[in-house]
Structure 1
Amino acid sequence: MTLNQPLLSAQRIVIKLGTQVVIDLAGDSGGRFATERLAELTRQCAQLVAQGKEIILVSSGAVGLGRQALHLTGTLSLNDKQACAAVGQNLLMEAYRNLFQQSGLITAQVLLTATDFADRKHYLNLRQTLEALLKFKAIPIINENDTTSTMELQEESYTKGFGDNDMLSALVASKLDADLLVILTNVDGIYTDNPFTNPNAQRISRIENFQDFQKIEASGQSLLGRGGMSSKLEAARMAALSGVHTLITSGVSPQPLEALLAPQPEPVGTLVLPQASFLSGKKRWIGMASGYHGAIVVNAGARKALVEKQASLLAIGVVGAQGDFFAQQVVRILDETGVEIGRGLTHFSSHEIERIKGLQSEKIADRLGFDADGKVLERQEIVHRDNLVIFEEYGV
């Protein structure tokens, strides 16, 4: 068995194309669609379809194409970016349609918002549609609907939708039971440091345990895109929670999907292995929720109890809240250094948490009084164990 056997045996493959793969920034192109590069990539996709594999593309690039078409420069407002997305989506799909048509394949545009994953009815309808497209051997081309959803376009937001197409691709791979997620970027994998600034940075060919990720310097992001290498690590981690292999590799190389088409001693790029223990349906939704609403910061004692003792999160271990959120929303759980240790469904709003942080559980009712129904408040855990996902338990 070759080291890239998981790539060769994958039947359903989600391929994410970053902005710097889709847009040509070289020379005087001015940020146009990278036709020659994408022609090779779509040809290889057609080869995979001919082998009986199912291909789903998650493509960035609409805002960049729209910016170029509208001759816009400088800093864009949120409304400007939405206008660019509206113009660029049409150009992006037309370019893909022409390229895939050369191989006799039909494309289908699928624009998503966070609600399409967060709402179960929306998700089931989406899944049925995508399953039908794959049955007809069409190529779904997915992007966040930036014209109506602003989450990807906002520079900073505690309330996060997809945030970038890296996370969107991980959610698609998870929800559609994909065998493999391929993230194509302008770097040939994950490095120990930024390879553009540190010539001694070493490429990591294989990641089996996410415990080592804190040692990786993954800062920085692309010129036109929103997602840096850290977002790709996050996407790979979320895919691993659902049992999906992830390959992070270069999309600007001559044959970006070569590792999927032929046996090789070692796949080019970084192969991230899925974990042996998978989450239940409810915890998978919490751990991979298409949106999270702020964060709860915990002290060292609470971190230890959550990670080592599988405890619920209590008010006495809470340092504070970040962002605005309500009860029964998914939030990130951060330690005091800012490291995300998990996610959970909170019993309290951010305003309530600021009032009860550091308290003994039995004193919460005295501080908050009555609930919305006029009854004495009985909630005690900030996040109950049944509604909590701690990443280290799953090796991620």
Structure 2
Amino acid sequence: MGSSGSAAQAGAGTRSAIATAARIVVKVGSSSLTSVAGGISEVALKNLVDVLARRRLAGTEVILVSSGAIAAGLLPLGLARRPKDLATQQAAASVGQGLLMAHYNHAFIGHGVTVSQVLLTAEDLTRRRQYVNAHRALERLLHLGVVPIVNENDTVATHEIRVGDNDRLAALVAHLVKADALVLLSDVDSLYDGPPMEGARRISIVDSPEDLEGIVIGSAGRAGVGTGGMATKVQAALIAAETGIPALVTSTENAADALSGEDVGTWFSINGSKRPARLLWLAHLADIRGRLVLDDGAVRAVCERHKSLLPAGITAVTGDFDAGDAVEIADSAGRVIAHGLVNYPCGDLPQMLGRSTKALAKELGREYEREVVHVDDLVLLHP
């Protein structure tokens, strides 16, 4: 059962999209699964599974992106809190991932639902061969009626090749499987325009990133075992919305109401169309190695006329990069407007700034007639 052409698309502008979705991605955070004594809360996990299993048995394809592996590994290793060093995080994840899956398998099997473990790294979502393979594996699992349980492969991932948080991973998985909706669950019931305990107002709907201007968004939750907080959930919801997938941010306690399309949490309406996976990677996952600063004319050419970036419009270059690396592209005020794959190493660019490609080709050779960043290798961050 694929998502294209499904009934969910007709209601994608409202919460009813979730109630009618044929395929959903649900992400749950560590703070929602952790008990007061440490480790995984069987009650919290079972309550979530009851909701997801009912939805799966009703015919919806469900992918669960679950944090909690490191948290589950703390108690068996005698650790009082989440470790800060990568090696101990990897050890905790290695111990905890099996325990987490054992809990999920036991809870889902009580409903007659089969689950699988899918561990992904950033490379699985950025390199074409791995991306296609991950897509094929998930599609097959869904076709077989399985609920894939996805997590980042924390045991082998390094700081340099991490997706970074499971909220963003969930948004990328939603794109990978062309989901009809993304639901991000944590211990906070909604996004507010200020501290909830100070009488702040719930933000019910976000139609565009501009709706969030001036709002201070919190960090990690109360349990202190996660890596994100509301900020990463908002970022993930915006990633999904700008790629054609509506998203809802709410609490795990509201999971049943959320999947029924009730008025809970904060709804992020679609404000873009589905991007190719390569551009999604360039916008949100690429390792940025430098910066190109543009004059006002070049900013208009890139942003308004969707042109390639030429050396004539570049005023400054910073960073250490080679041809083919990702760089950020900024206006004269320092605002980053785009990411792109540069065609020249950093050492070649200073002599090219402000000059036409024709003049450069005449003086330095025809290989300098290329664009600095071709339009096909450029993604606007504020379209």
TM-score class, shorter? 0.7 to 0.9
Q: Do structure 1's residue 321 and structure 2's residue 318 form an aligned pair?
A: yes
Alignment-derived partner of residue 155 in structure 1: none
Q: Counterpart of 1:168 in 2: which secondary structure? A: helix
Output the CA distance in 1 between the equivalents of 2:52 and 2:185: 13
Any residues of structure 2 matched to 1:55-66 within 5 Å, and which?
55-66=62-73
Query: Which one-letter code corresponds to 1:4 in the other structure?
Result: R
Corresponding residue for residue 93 of structure 2: 85
Counterpart in 2 of 1:221?
Answer: 220
Q: Which of 252, 267, 271 is the equivalent residue of 2:267?
A: 271
Distance (whole Å) between structure 2 residues aligned to residue 340 and residue 363 of structure 1: 28
CA distance, structure 2, for counterparts of residue 227 and residue 294 of structure 1 = 24
Aligned ranges 1:7-156 → 2 under 5 Å: 7-24=18-35, 26=36, 29=37, 31-73=38-80, 75-151=83-159
Give, in whole Å, the separation in 2 of the partners of 1:205 and 1:300.
39
Partner of 1:181: 182
Distance 2:133 2:69 in 1: 25
Task: Show CA shifts across 1:198-233 (max 9, x none).
Answer: x24322111112233333322423422222323222
Query: 3-state DSSP class of the match of 1:33?
Result: coil
Fraction of identical pairs, as percent: 34
Instruction: State the shift of 1:33 in Å.
Output: 0.5
8 Å contact from structure 1 (residues 161, 291) kept in 2: no
Residue type of the alignment partner of 1:384: H
- Structure 1 length as normaliser, TM-score? 0.82
Give unpaired runs (5+ residues) of structure 2. Answer: 1-10
* Counterparts of 1:84 and 1:334, CA distance in 2: 40
The within-5 A match list for 1:257-336 is 257-261=256-260, 264=262, 267-279=263-275, 283-287=279-283, 290-296=285-291, 298-299=293-294, 301=296, 302-315=298-311, 316-322=313-319, 324-335=320-331
1:292 touches 1:332 (CA, 8 Å); kept in 2? no
CA distance in 2, matches of 1:291, 1:22: 30
In structure 2, distance between residues paired with 1:200 and 1:81: 37
- What code does the residue aligned with 1:257 have? A
2: CA distance between counterparts of 1:117 and 1:79? 23
1:60-90: CA deviation from partner (whole Å, max 9, x where unpaired): 1111222232112465321111111111111
Residue deviations 1:242-289 (CA, integer Å, cap 9, x gap): 2111111112x2x4232213x53xx2011111125443565445345x
Partners of 1:23 and 1:76 lie apart in 2 by 18
- Structure 2 CA distance for partners of 1:191 and 1:127, relative to 1, 3 Å: same
TM-score, normalization by structure 2? 0.84
Matches of 1:225 and 1:135 in 2, distance apart? 32
Number of residues paired by the alignment? 366
Give, in whole Å, the separation in 2 of the partners of 1:216 and 1:336. 25
Question: Equivalents in 2 of 1:273, 1:237: separation in Å?
Answer: 9
Rate the CA distance shift 1:382–1:258 in 2: closer, same or farther, 3 A: same
Provide the secondary structure at the position in 1 that maps to 2:51: helix
